Amino acid sequence: MARKIINTLTNWLTDWGISRDTTDFLVAIIIIIFVALLSILLNYITKKAIHTALKQIVKRTKNNWDDILFEFRVFHRFSHIAPALVIYYSADVFLKYHKTWLNLTHSAIYIYVTVVFMLAFSSFLNALNAIYIKSPASAHKPIKGYLQVVNIFNYSIGIIIILSIVLGKDPSYFLTGIGAIAAVLLIVFKDSLLGLVAGIQLSANDMVKIGDWISMPAKNADGTVSEISLNTVKIENFDKTITYIPSYSLVSEAFINWRGVEISNARRIMRSLTIDISTVRLLEKAEADKLINNPVFKEHFINEINTTKNIESDSHINLTNLGLFRKYCESFLNNHNKVRRDLIIVVRELQSGPFGIPLELYCFSNETEFKKFEAVQSDIFEHLIAIAPLFGLAFFQCQTSGNFPVLNK
């Protein structure tokens, strides 16, 4: 049949007055074009058939995994086998008298089919990861790194098969030589091997999971973990930049995981107000009574009211305006509805310095989300800054052109 088709084409071209050599070349070109068009057409038809059939099946099922397999076009990859079969059997027909070309064509088809299976299996692994991400366990135990290791083996086996086809060797020939090139493989896949070990450690020790807020100043990273792969951990920083950190860096270097803040529903406030030392003084009983009984904050000074009752009217009591303000701050925090009263609340004076006396507030807010937390923190300090002058206190700030005294000429 093939010989008859070739003879018919040859005679037809010869009748047009074309030379024998040119005729043979044109016949070969015509056959190649015909086989190529047939392959493309069959590939298109196969894709359409697979797409239509799978789409109907996916719509009828309630499972999500088949939708993901369809989305990642796992089965669509196999449509490429159709043109390979056309070319393979066409070669048997048209090249059966040309063994060299027939063998080259068969080898090319074997390589092509191997690549198709490699890509199909790679798509299946990506789909498998997407299916797993839908489950709650994925946040604690990501498997993308492990699937990438499997994919490395997938491509390694595919490359060995392709080399065996090209060189005409048995695949076992290359496997026996693996030991000789182990050192080279260790160098080439160093990051992947380190990433695999690091991924196992991160997962086993529950050090990092997707959705965690981590800070790693050495890598300029401060944001949420969005992806954990074999080689890298992807972090979306709060300034909308992306940082990729090698997985093994999270094992070998220090970083902060803020997950405990979310679990405990408590975020620490630790900030200082710097008091001008020149405004700190002892209070007389009358001054203390006036402050303590001020209706703005009288409820915060029950203990101090009892203390001043036993002090003679003309004496100085052992109470400073800074001491009263410190007690007020502590009472204010204990009564604030956004401060965790079951956790430590401390208002303390730090070592004084050239800029005054730092008065540090140490407590925990029950708001952990960034915007709400900052609003609570700001409200607390704005209130304390505004009320401090009632205690006769001032805050230290560097002199500027706006607050230098004006000298009369």
Question: Is residue 384 within 8 Å of residue 272, measured between CB atoms?
Answer: no
Q: In the structure, what pLDDT confidence band is assigned to residue 340 with cuts at 50, 70 and 90?
A: very high
Give the model confidence (pLDDT) of 30-58 as tens digits: 666 766 777 777 777 777 777 677 677 76
Pick the more confident residue, 82 or 271. Answer: 271
Q: What is the value of pTM for the model shown?
A: 0.51
Provide the token pair at 205. Answer: 């020790």
Q: In the structure, what pLDDT confidence band is assigned to residue 8 with cuts at 50, 70 and 90?
A: low
- Nearest C-alpha neighbor of 39 from the set 83, 105, 81: 83
Cβ contacts of 10 within 8 Å, gap of 6 or more? 23, 24, 27
DSSP for 146-185, written as a single string: HHHHHHHHHHHHHHHHHHHHHHT--HHHHHTTTGGGHHHH
User: Phi-psi region for residue 291, left (φ > 0), alpha (ψ -120 to 50) or beta?
Assistant: alpha
* pLDDT mean over 195-209: 75
Q: Which of 159-173, 239-253, 333-347 has the lowest mean pLDDT?
A: 159-173
Pick the more confident residue, 176 or 327. Answer: 327
DSSP for 186-217, written as a single string: HHHTHHHHHHHHHHHHHHHTT---TT-EEEEG
pLDDT of residue 358 exceeding 90, the answer is yes
> Helix (H, G, I), strand (E, B), or coil: what is residue 346?
strand
Phi, psi angles (nearest 5°) of residue 266: -145, 130
pLDDT of residue 181 exceeding 70, the answer is no
Can you list the domains of the chain with their CATH numbers?
Answer: 2-198 (no CATH), 206-260 (2.30.30.60), 265-391 (no CATH)
Give the model confidence (pLDDT) of 67-78 as tens digits: 777 777 777 777
Helices (H), 243-358: 249-252, 259-264, 285-292, 302-308, 321-334
Pick the more confident residue, 95 or 234. Answer: 234
Question: Is residue 80 within 8 Å of residue 44, measured between CB atoms?
Answer: no
pLDDT value at residue 139: 63
- Nearest C-alpha neighbor of 247 from the set 186, 192, 208, 198: 198
Pick the more confident residue, 380 or 12. Answer: 380
Mean pLDDT across the chain: 77
CA pair distance 363, 329, nearest whole angstrom: 11
* pLDDT mean over 296-300: 61
pLDDT value at residue 305: 45
pLDDT value at residue 7: 55
Q: Which of 16-30, 83-97, 199-213 has the lowest mean pLDDT?
A: 16-30
